[in-house]
Amino acid sequence: MQSVRRVIVMWLLSLVSIQAQINPPEQPLSLSEAWQKAEQFNKTIQEQNLRVKISHEKLEQTKSERLPEIGASTQYARVSNLPIYERGILNTPSQYPVLHNFFQLKTEAYFNVYEGKKLQTRIKAEEKEHTLVEEEKNQIQSEVKLRVASVYLDLQRNLIYKDLMLKNIEEAEKRLADIRELHTNGVVLKSDLLRAELQVSRQKMTLHEIENSILITNQKLDLMIGLPDNTVLKPTQLPASDSLAKGYDSFLDEAFDHAYQLKIASKQKEISELHLKEVQADYKPKVGLFAEYTYAYPQITFYPYAGALYGFGMAGLKASYSLSSLYHNKHREQAARVEIQRQRIMESDQADRIKQAVKEAYVRYGEALHRIDVSELSTKQAAENYRIVHNTYFNQLSLLTDLLDADTQLLQSQYDLASARLAARLQYYHLLNTLGKL
């Protein structure tokens, strides 16, 4: 008996497992949660995070060049005899014996004291470069959040469409049942029944297309935020779109303070200015402290020579100046100056682009808010029109085509209202992205 119960329990558990695989549970997800997951798992953002780390390591590497350079070297060699051509190279030379084993161990250090502040300038440029990479990461992150919002709202739109279509199919099937009864009683023609059945079939096909769109969009969102691509997501309700409480000038001021494009253009100009200073440093002398110590065998550096191990060290101040920099560096400096001019033009051009982008986003968002008001009114009018035509048709005062047209108009107005609300929300996020505040 117990074995039978165990088999039944195992069978029920397997059915539950199979059902869960066929219809996995929905996971509620707010847009803010989707953004958080994208910041953590999105591959584009992960790649930008690695770029920031690389930039940080380059900066630390440049800073480490302020430390002294220390090196050590050693060598061993077999030295040949020393032929002396006392009577010319065409005559047999005299052979003077030498010590054939040569050994040297040398350590040396150099500390840069002055180089026209070239290293300090390079460190400042690397710091600006690091800040630039961080701003580029913030820009990419904002764009990814905007794309996530677009897919998220698209998924929510399709789910709303599905609910509207299910309700519409339910209403159409009830209407079809009433028309069948009227046809049975000889009140309406066969053509009315066929048209009603055809509309239900078309609505079911549309529902199937909407469900396919949900599957595609759901997987796209899963991949964007780092979830398994079979995770079924259920977007939560979004707040209503904010009204345009501020004017265009206020939004433009915010954009000039926060827009990533302007920050990036400004950093690129500052880097080009530092590059010019680094090029100009090549005109300056180089001064540094040095020290070295050598162990060698045999002693052949100073006279008298000796076949013994010896040590020799020295330390002091080393200065040098490259005369060739006066003509080698001329064109590099001119190119750096032209690059600064180019960056200034690009910064000005980017400011113009920001003005245009803010204006467009501002106007489009206001247009989207107005479309919501129009769609709400259209939905009310379409609902009232459908109610009237529905009553008149079943009182034999209007045609079925009028009723089906009214039903289509009502469904379309409901679609338009849902789309208008979500489009306004997306346009709001687009405005925030333009301002650099998403």
Residue pair 269/344 in contact by the 8 Å Cβ criterion: yes
177: left (phi over 0), alpha (psi -120 to 50) or beta: alpha
Residue range 282-332, pLDDT digits in tens:
888 899 998 999 998 888 777 677 788 888 888 999 988 888 888 888 899
Structure confidence at residue 100 (pLDDT): 83
Residue range 262-285, pLDDT digits in tens:
999 999 999 999 999 988 888 888
Average pLDDT over the chain reads: 87
Structure confidence at residue 434 (pLDDT): 92
3-state SS, one letter per residue, for the chain? CHHHHHHHHHHHHHHHHHHHHHCCCEEEECHHHHHHHHHHHCHHHHHHHHHHHHHHHHHHHHHHCCCCEEEEEEEEEECCCEEECCCCCCCCCEEECCCCEEEEEEEEEEEEEECCCHHHHHHHHHHHHHHHHHHHHHHHHHHHHHHHHHHHHHHHHHHHHHHHHHHHHHHHHHHHHHHHHHHHCCCCCHHHHHHHHHHHHHHHHHHHHHHHHHHHHHHHHHHHCCCCCCCEEEECCCCCCCCCCCCHHHHHHHHHHHCHHHHHHHHHHHHHHHHHHHHHHHHCCEEEEEEEEEEEECECCCCCCECCCEEEEEEEEEEECCCCHHHHCHHHHHHHHHHHHHHHHHHHHHHHHHHHHHHHHHHHHHHHHHHHHHHHHHHHHHHHHHHHHHHHHHCCCCCHHHHHHHHHHHHHHHHHHHHHHHHHHHHHHHHHHHHCCC
Instruction: Please state the rounded mean pLDDT for residues 14-20.
Output: 45
Structure confidence at residue 23 (pLDDT): 58
Fold of 29-66+115-285+321-435: Outer membrane efflux proteins (OEP) (1.20.1600)
**C-alpha angle with apex 322: 324 to 113, nearest 5 degrees?**
155
Structure confidence at residue 84 (pLDDT): 84
Instruction: Please state the rounded mean pLDDT for residues 414-430.
Output: 93
Instruction: Please state the rounded mean pLDDT for residues 222-229.
Output: 90
pTM: 0.83
Structure confidence at residue 18 (pLDDT): 45
Instruction: Please state the rounded mean pLDDT for residues 347-354.
Output: 93
What is the Cα–Cα distance from 219 to 231, expressed in whole angstroms?
8
| Closest-CA residue to 433 (of 152, 133, 88, 138) | 138
Residue pair 38/45 in contact by the 8 Å Cβ criterion: yes
Instruction: Please state the rounded mean pLDDT for residues 119-128.
Output: 91
Residue range 374-417, pLDDT digits in tens:
999 999 999 999 899 988 888 877 788 888 899 999 999 999 99
Banded pLDDT at 107 (limits 50, 70, 90): very high
Number of neighbours of residue 422 by Cβ within 10 angstroms: 21
Structure confidence at residue 375 (pLDDT): 93
Domain ranges of the chain: 29-66+115-285+321-435
